[in-house]
Chain A
Amino acid sequence: MKRVIVGAGVAGIAAIEAIRSLDSIGEIVMVGDDPHGYYSRPGLAYYLTGELHDKTLYPRASEDYRKLNFRYVKGRVKNILRDAHVLELENGPSISYDKLLIAVGAQAAPLEIPGATLDGVLKLDHMEDAKRILKQARRGKTAIVVGGGITALELTEGLLSRGMNVHYLLRGDRYWSGVLDDQESRIVEGRLQEVGVTLHHRAEAIEILGRKNRVIGVRLRDGRVMKCDLVAYAIGIHPRVELARQAGLAVDRGILVNEHLQTNDVNIFAAGDVAQVYDPSTGRSALDSLWSSAREQGYAAGLNMAGKATVYVKSIPFNVTRLAGLTTTIIGAVGAGDDKDLVGIARGDSETWRQLPDAMVAQSGFDVNRVRLLLGEKRLLGAVVMGDQKLSYPLEKIVSESVDISPIREELLSPQARIGDVIAKFWASMRN
């Protein structure tokens, strides 16, 4: 049995670990087109800020790979010949497979305005992009950031920490309006301003201006021209579905897979950012762009490829991230608004966050330490925890384990609720 994995991200690595947990000798080949192989893509944000060295981002040493006993082929797959069970590569010999996993991830949605291909227009997809950003970031020069979600802030903070004057353009009235509420957006924006970022609301870049093929400024819809030395954008991501589409696999926004991570071809699986996974509990197929989901999906796909029928049970989508230096946890369903800065979802994002059914909101804290709870009739549907993270772990468990919160619901909804104390007490009683 020969299993082939296309993509060298965390879903692919997890799949190999799963296969090896059941089969220590079967042949495994991984094909990857990122010249840097497997590294922590979310960690690129901390590389940009200088909190760690690029070499730190590689979680595995060659010794670890030897133990997993697979062959790594650096290359890009051109075609999947499904009848013949063969992958054609752009440069290199074809590779046959019995079972195939497509885990090629997603890529930045392109900025489709004139001038977007000029030198100095940058995105943050992979290691090469991060290195390019660091090479072009100049102390004292001006950068314009366009977009929304987590990546736009990572770009903003990265460029700021390299000494640039950063202007952040928001098309709408506030930051990440699809996920955060008004207060949360204001907290993030306030902190950005405190550290010196200049925010521009209702500012839409319609053209990037250049001289000698190099960025010199941006023209806004209202006619204003802003001078700058580079433009960084993060307007969302697109799952890399081209290969699957060419091969005739069922594709919607991502590659459609059932609860076994299987495509409409029984020998081909998909996992991670590229997969749009059917969730039997909701009857919907959703995209996630979360590291932990990719890992879990990759692992389940690997077990299925090794012959152990395994249903992927979607965890409550959950991310802990830093927004303007503020640790923020987003759990479950939290928002439903419109976001003019993003097309589809972004990195570190989940469609499920925006599938909010009827919910009551309980909240406390109006400065950097804030908790917002989305309360269903009996369950906690979602939560956003900003700043102090003491509640984040209990809330994650209360949401993911569908704990009956009726005993504290009224208390949480009372106008002067001390949410932190109520949750802490409830959590302690649950554990005892």
Chain B
Amino acid sequence: MADRAEFIKDIRSRLQNHRSRGEYRPTHAPDVPWTPSAERRRESPVSGDLPARFLGELEALGGHGRRVASIEEARDYVLSLARERGAELLVRWDEEELEELGVDAPVREAGTEVSVWRDLPDFREVAGSAEIGLTTADWAVAETGSLVVTSGPGHGRSVTLLPPTHVAVVRVEKMLPTVAEAIALYAKNGGLPANVCFHTGPSRSGDIEQALAIGVHGPGDVHVVLVG
């Protein structure tokens, strides 16, 4: 086992050399497509209709998104998705907003069992067999079409990941322009949950002869319903 104090001491001694030499610069500055220019804007021009931008980006990635006016419409979206997929099991976060959505009863009526992420004897069994995972999201990022999902009681990471279909119902107030702004918010609030993940479209791989393959490990079928 490497001794931590020794390890750090060793690095410190190597850095003496560095510090005595002052700032080091490469011989020539990075060039052509990277050359800084004064006229360039400093921030990404993400403004205007954020929900529209988000939905456009998500569609371009192969995801599905819709903006709805009411909670009822969102409920209908989830319900018809469960029907269309012929799902036997839907697993959802234990989360007040999803209680308000009130999908459990109609989805069960339509023949899909609903499992809520609390007091599960074996989470792998549930999340691993569900066809649909239903969650909310901390944020939706317009620039990239990303959802920001976080861990916590009732917020299973597996729900966003193991079922082949992931649907998130997100209030439109949760839109942010850029990834940087989302990160800045976590930085400002001075604490991160054990897990924060930016989901940007469906799972994909190009490993076999560069053919785009969707849904290799994570969900290939991704839906976001923006409410409001």
Q: Do A and B come from one complex?
A: no
